[in-house]
A and B are shown apart, each in its own frame.
Chain A
Amino acid sequence: MSICTERKRKAYIAFHRGYLGYQQTNTRRLEKREKVLIKKCRKGDAVAQRALYLRYRVRWYMTCLRYAPNKPDADDMLQEGLINIFNSLGQFDPDKGSFGAWSNRVLVNAILQYIRKWKRLRVVDDLEAYIHTLAEDEVCFARLGAEELTKMIQKLPEGYRIVFNLYVIEGYKHHEIAQMLGISESTSKTQLFKAKRMLRMKLGSILQQ
């Protein structure tokens, strides 16, 4: 096949599929592959489990890092979360939503369970006591990427951090957060307000620019 013919063929395919159409086909193919992986995971296929883990590990770990004050805690949370995710794969219904969203919900529940088990969730009001912890690390302002923002969230007091994550990142409502954490709705609102105030203190000048 000559180069010219090959180019024509590719152009023909691109024309008829359309770029968007091609992308959709590709996404569908990936989803299909994911479904096969999940099905194999349910049967206990170790290779499939590993493949699914490698696919989502960055996303899952980032969630854990946001909720944990440090890396060792995030590691423990991820371990608990993995056990929960793979043990409850049978409950996942692909018609109700994506695996990514479902697994994230399970992971967040496992994280809250972990916090409840090992630590007592302390709803903190004394802001000044924690200000100095942020002031120590000025490096985060140099480059505001996900890593730096995660580190900033990690430095928040536990109550602030969890409420902030649940409300801002996961998108839960205040009454849901109150139910999940066993606190009142007004406490949840207060904690979020104060978390944002702390973050704004550091980010304020940058955001206003």
Chain B
Amino acid sequence: MKDRLEIFFRKKLTEPQKKEAWNTPSDEIWEMARPHFEVKRKRRRRIFIGLFLLLFAGIGTVGWLLLNDAENPPAAEVSKNEIRKDIASRDQGIKHMSPSERGLEDEMVMESPIPTQPMPVPQPAPHSVPALKSHADRSRPIVEMPVFAKQAGVAPYSQQQQRFATNMEERIEHRAALKKNSLESLPPLQPVLEVQPETATIAGPGLPAVKHISPDNRFAVRVFNVPLVTAFSSAQDMNFGNPVNVSHSFGVGAEYAIHKHWWLGLGVSVLHLNSRITYSGSQNYDATTEYYFGGGMMANDVSFQTTSSLGERFLTATVLRSNMEPIPQGTQLEARLTSGHRLTYFNLPVVMLYRRNLGGKFSVFGGGGPGFNWLLAERLEKTGKVLHQDKPMEVIAMNASSGHIETKNWWSVDAKAGLEYRFRQDVSVYSSFRFKYGFTPFLSADDIYVKYREAGIALGLRYAFY
């Protein structure tokens, strides 16, 4: 309830005032303040435009690639019966023989349509001039499959480097595995010729691997966990104690192959930052700041301060004495105050990665990209004690001032490089070195730009939709 004094002052001081000399600021103040917010706007706008252009360029590239894929839709699902019919139609008149039937134990039958024209029947020669006989007129024995294949211009089996399916079932399986291409477009004699182990996705029977990037196997998802060591820094001196900052990041991400080696990734992660600072120092006791606390206790707001390096947070300790015995003015007090500051951010990074297979199960990758960090939560922990002549004094929890956090929202740039090991066809584990550089693109109330640096080893699991 307001008393008369309060009402009087409030009424007098809040009613509109006429412009007079005493209550009108000089123009100098305006002239000094104005450049501050003008410069800031321009700088911020430039940074935002740059980052958005980068983001739009990335989105545009992905969109363009997706549209290109949409123009060449994947073939419809082909049943094994259809494959069987197709193979039968291509193999008209050709008897499939097993290698043992043909006496070629180590050879295999070509999986391909072989010329189906009727076999030439030997005719008696009209002339008896062997030298003038045409090639077609020459008598020849009834040939078996290998020779027939030779006539079709196919190299002998023994000289062929590629090996193909030996029977109908295997051929059907093989075709079914290659169903992403339509049967019409499937090369008749060369089901697979280009082999690149690093992008290998489909391994048919007898085939090492097939280079095949399609919309179905361009995606990968990953889960990562990054323990890091971090540091915030700013132009403002924050040498209150020794900060030990530890951070931890956990998140998920998705990647999309925009090229053979290039992957565009988008991640979502939660970043925890912990700063723990211990202040140890002494101060002369100021008796004039002492006041009666209640319950026979004297209190004193001792102005020891700790400041978290994660932002501006001043912590002061309030000392309570249960006895009324006065402490002489100027007595030295020893204080050990520890303040913990924990910030939780929502992190949204966009990365461009270059991934290259080393020939086996190992791949190397590297890349980076921009990100944005939103403050989700903040928690302060305060412990400490104040000693008077080696005797601990009772200290109530320190009070934190509600000054703004320098690092509320900030931009960041990630750079990473690492090694990936594929222990299954589609699952791999990776480890990478990650460096994150963060910054606030605008001046804080204290005219400082806050910078953030962290370095750590990321451990992750990656699943690719092969």
A residues touching B (Cβ–Cβ < 8 Å)?
A: 44, 46, 49-50, 53, 57-62, 65-66, 74-75, 78-80, 82-84, 86-87, 110, 113, 116-117, 120, 122-126, 129, 144-147, 149-150, 153, 167-169, 178-184, 186-187, 190, 196, 199-200, 203, 207
Contacts and interface: CB of A to CB of B under 8 A. Distances in A.
Give me the 3 closest cross-chain CB pairs, A-B, nearest first: A182-B401, A82-B33, A182-B399
Main SS at interface, chain B: mixed
Nearest to B6: A168
Contacts of A60: 25
A86 B445 CA distance: 12
B40 interface: yes
Main SS at interface, chain A: helix
A57 B41 contact: no
Interface string B1-25: 0111110111011111101101111
Contacts of A79: 29, 32-33
B301 interface: yes
Given A79-B33, A116-B403, A46 B38 contact: yes
A83 B39 CA distance: 11
Interface in B8-66: 8-10, 12-17, 19-20, 22-26, 29-30, 32-34, 36-38, 40-42
B12 to A, nearest CB: 5
B223 interface: no
22 contacts: A44-B38, A44-B41, A46-B38, A49-B37, A50-B30, A57-B30, A58-B19, A59-B17, A62-B13, A62-B17, A65-B22, A65-B23, A113-B404, A123-B301, A125-B288, A146-B13, A168-B9, A180-B402, A182-B315, A182-B400, A187-B299, A196-B6
B332 interface: no
Nearest to A179: B402
A125 B287 CA distance: 10
B38 A147 contact: no
Nearest to A66: B13
A126 B290 CA distance: 9
B12 A203 contact: no
Interface residues of B, number: 56
A82 B36 CA distance: 10
A58 B400 CA distance: 33
B285 to A, nearest CB: 14
Given A167-B6, A187-B291, 4 more contacts: A74-B25, A145-B12, A146-B15, A180-B401
Contacts of B8: 203, 207
Contacts of A203: 5, 8
Contacts of A117: 446
B20 to A, nearest CB: 7
Q: Point out which of A82, A110, A126, A145 has the most chain B C-beta atoms below 10 A from its C-beta.
A: A82
B303 interface: yes
A114 to B, nearest CB: 9
Nearest to A191: B291
A145 B23 CA distance: 12
A27 to B, nearest CB: 14
A110 to B, nearest CB: 7
A168 B37 contact: no
B17 A116 contact: no
Contacts of A74: 25
A203 B4 CA distance: 11
B289 A83 contact: no
A28 to B, nearest CB: 18
A50 B303 CA distance: 40
Contacts of A181: 401
Contacts of A124: 288-289
Contact of A169 (B9, B289, B291): B9
A94 to B, nearest CB: 20
B240 interface: no
B330 to A, nearest CB: 16
Contacts of A207: 4-5, 8
B148 interface: no
